[in-house]
Amino acid sequence: MSHPEHPNLHVLEHPLIQDKLARIREVGTPPGFFRALVSEVAGLMVFQISRDLPLRKSRVETPLEETEVFRLAAPVTIVPILRAGIGLADGVASLMPEARVGHIGLYRDESTLAPVSYYCKLPDDISEGPVFLVDPMLATGGSAAAAVKVLRENGCRDVRLVCLVAAPTGVKTMHEADPDVPVFTAALDRELSEVGYILPGLGDAGDRMFGTR
């Protein structure tokens, strides 16, 4: 169900997601546990948001007889925004090991808060199926909007943005940039700080994930 104030936003309130998010937020959570929790939440989230993926009929031979089955109708691609998105990508891939993984490298200029691109590698046929764009934080929305633009330029029609926490500013930015991209998050936080960090947030997800600060 869409958020009442943001038509492009879906907040996933499953109890297991919320419990794990609480542990992710805690300042004392060590990097190894942090990474594991992020991966687990990503898997729980994608289980819910993949409910409407199209299926096709197929047939297989069981140990007893041939039977009709259903398989995904199109290839799924997971695209993390580097570097923090890798943690979510691992969780999604654990649920869908057959999915391909592309990468978009963006970092935020600390003075302008604008996204700067430094890497992009995507499957040649990425446009043939749905894309799960993953990044822990939707803060200003600049990086996510830039990544979606890259995917659209590569012909992607079904793009779904998955993040742990989002700020209202980022959700609005995404809606203005591309209202057809649904945003799935575990929590809509209060606001951005003066330097563009989500409040209450969970700190710098990349640094906490990889123990770099």
Cβ neighbours for 134, distance < 8 A, ≥ 6 positions apart: 42, 78, 79, 80, 81, 85, 88, 89, 92, 161, 162, 163
CA-to-CA distance for 79 and 85, rounded, in angstroms? 8
Instruction: Give the DSSP per-residue string, 126-165.
Output: GGGS-EEEE-SEESSSHHHHHHHHHHHHTT---EEEEEEE
- Looking at the chain, the number of H-run helices and the number of E-run strands are 6, 13
User: Which residues are catalytic, by number?
Assistant: 108, 112, 204, 207
Amino acid identity, position 22:
A
The three-state secondary structure class of 14 is coil
Q: Is there a contact between 136 and 88 (Cβ–Cβ < 8 Å)?
A: yes
